[in-house]
Structure 1
């Protein structure tokens, strides 16, 4: 085989610290889109992969879910972590969420929770979400005139929504949030529990221990909540396996609030940094749906997913061998100059907005409608009440290659 060369810019994709430096990250991704849109990345301690940075190629791979599979490497992790988790799965102790699965099993498991995120369920939930939005904007007013918007508001609001949907007791919300930070923040010094694969497994075991008790409770005494739907879900007439059940809880409880937190906090920062767009939105709240989509594009909370080629193929003329991995760089696709007019301009009226923040195809985000509704409710409550808002310190981004956004957003504001 001819030795493969690597563009130095491609190294950022296998460097968690790059995702905490927007300027560095986007400069490298713009270079790759223009010069090597299918780029070879070999940057230990990660195993090599092909980075896919163009929107059209990301979409094409997402559509071809029989050719590009989620298993066995659905996201970027170190080689040691990949090996450790594979061994745990063989021992019946790993994690296997919807993002790890392929059809037809994926479709069957996804269906168990799907009804809770359909339009009718969202309409029924909207009154409660609007009430919570008012509560948290009132809280922002009460703790003002300064706060850390991430920790004081952006974390709390979507956490409360998803935990309520699951039917978990309020005293457990903090525990769920801490475990989520440790799981998604395994590369971040502020969030991580430790540096070894065993440390990450310990986080999952804490999740699983909690949800094993919840499953037993909901099977013995079913209630009208999402936790009961998961606990009593069946595949081909049989109860889900313990791993699939616990993993279902983990992905809903963690991604169900953390990604929305990232979009909310990053969306507010974009409004602060673009005061003309904030004024435009305040003057015309009918722009809220497109503003929310632009915030989601702008922040891209889920940075990537990976796929494995089921057979020899090509992407943009580049040969991809069976068994090789491709890295779908959503954060790059969402700034693709061929798709978005002035992609580095924050435009609350951008339409169309074909962002890939929720994925595409069979793995399109189950909770997309809920995330959109939460953001719409919060900003519809917040924006008309804002008299002024500014930064009081430097915003801080998490170091991560998977799910992440702002860790801290110190602001000063005046609220009606």
Structure 2
């Protein structure tokens, strides 16, 4: 039997605090790409997995969605929480979102929301994104000359966009924000509800309670919003279960804004750190499309997804046994020297830019077009109005192994 390839650098992928230390993380990932691109990671508290750090290997695994399945381990969480969540799903009472599913069920469920994120729908939403972008840049003017951009602007702008799409009342927006931060901040001492697995279960139960009531309301009185589309959807003539509808809302309402807010906050930080690129973008607004893609590449809000081998196979010549899991490191893939020239450089004109921040294949992010449009609208409004901008303190990143980014970004600025 071939000995497993193990490299201590792989331990960073199971250390939430590593994602709050960019220098440490990228040093370790560069080492793995060069010396152990398929590395066995066995860390206390987690079930072992193979770390996949090369762009080409991540894409190959994503393509083979019949061989490498999302079920039963779609993301990296501590072993005891993983067991509880899996048991709940098997009992039909646990979170089961698009990221937990495989085809054909995944394909059928994805179709329910797909029309709301197609180009025609995005064109209809464009004016709303532009309008909200102006609202929030105007707020920056009013609150200046200093603020925490992440907490005061970046988390709220995409929150209003996605929850408006769902049709939720504005009075519930703060509650959704708090629940989302607790959901994705379970490893961060500032954001988490509590340190135990039970605290995360409690967050999910709060989500389910809210959306179960919403489902009942929309089934009784349908409206013209995405919430009604989900509540009244059918598959093979049968309505979705309460758990399926609640799970659908959770992934749209939470990932639909938290990832975008991470991209916006991280994108602004890159522009502040690279004033030459900011000036380049001010001089040539036509670069906004490539600039947004570069922000998304550099921030990589979704750090990883996992897949489980459905049969014995191999990756880059390394045997992977049936039932073993692989962690797809999008952070690493997006800095792969084989794909990106000078990958640690922020370049608003980078083209081509084959980043994997939205995944690849059948699980490509449903809301990718919306995220791109929101960022394009926001920075198109902000950048022409910047007279000066600089850090007013040290940025702070969230501790996570799944979704996250800049949680505090103190800036000092002058806007027109």
Q: Deviations over 1:9-60 (max 9, x none)?
A: 1100010000000000000000000000001000110100000000000000
Gaps of 5+ in 2: none
Name the counterpart of 1:198: 198
Name the counterpart of 2:162: 162
Structure 1 residue ranges, 4+ long, deviating more than 4 angstroms after superposition: none
Q: Deviations over 1:166-219 (max 9, x none)?
A: 000000000000000000000000011112221111000000000001000000
The answer to whether the Cα contact below 8 Å between 2:40 and 2:51 also exists between their aligned partners in 1 is yes
Name the counterpart of 1:153: 153
The answer to whether the Cα contact below 8 Å between 2:148 and 2:409 also exists between their aligned partners in 1 is yes
Q: Deviations over 1:45-95 (max 9, x none)?
A: 010000000000000000000000000000001111111112222333210
Name the counterpart of 1:308: 308
Name the counterpart of 1:401: 401
Q: CA deviation at 1:236?
A: 1.1
Q: CA deviation at 1:243?
A: 1.3
Name the counterpart of 2:240: 240
Q: CA deviation at 1:3?
A: 5.7
Tell me the distance in 2 between the aligned counterparts of 1:225 and 1:92: 27
Size of the aligned set, in residue pairs, is 416
User: Is residue 2:411 matched to residue 1:411?
Assistant: yes
Q: Deviations over 1:151-171 (max 9, x none)?
A: 110001000000100000000
Name the counterpart of 1:6: 6
Name the counterpart of 2:102: 102
Tell me the distance in 2 between the aligned counterparts of 1:393 and 1:286: 31
Name the counterpart of 1:335: 335
Q: Secondary structure at the match of 1:80?
A: helix
TM-score by length of 1: 0.99
Q: CA deviation at 1:119?
A: 0.1
1:124-273 aligned within 5 A: 124-273=124-273
Name the counterpart of 1:361: 361
Gaps of 5+ in 1: none
Q: CA deviation at 1:233?
A: 0.9
Name the counterpart of 2:123: 123
| RMSD over aligned Cα atoms | 0.8
The answer to whether the Cα contact below 8 Å between 2:387 and 2:415 also exists between their aligned partners in 1 is yes
Q: CA deviation at 1:104?
A: 0.4
Q: CA deviation at 1:247?
A: 0.3
TM-score by length of 2: 0.99
Tell me the distance in 2 between the aligned counterparts of 1:210 and 1:104: 28
The answer to whether the Cα contact below 8 Å between 2:303 and 2:331 also exists between their aligned partners in 1 is yes
Q: Secondary structure at the match of 2:103?
A: coil
Tell me the distance in 1 between the aligned counterparts of 2:61 and 2:90: 28
The answer to whether the Cα contact below 8 Å between 2:5 and 2:38 also exists between their aligned partners in 1 is no
User: Is residue 2:35 matched to residue 1:42?
Assistant: no
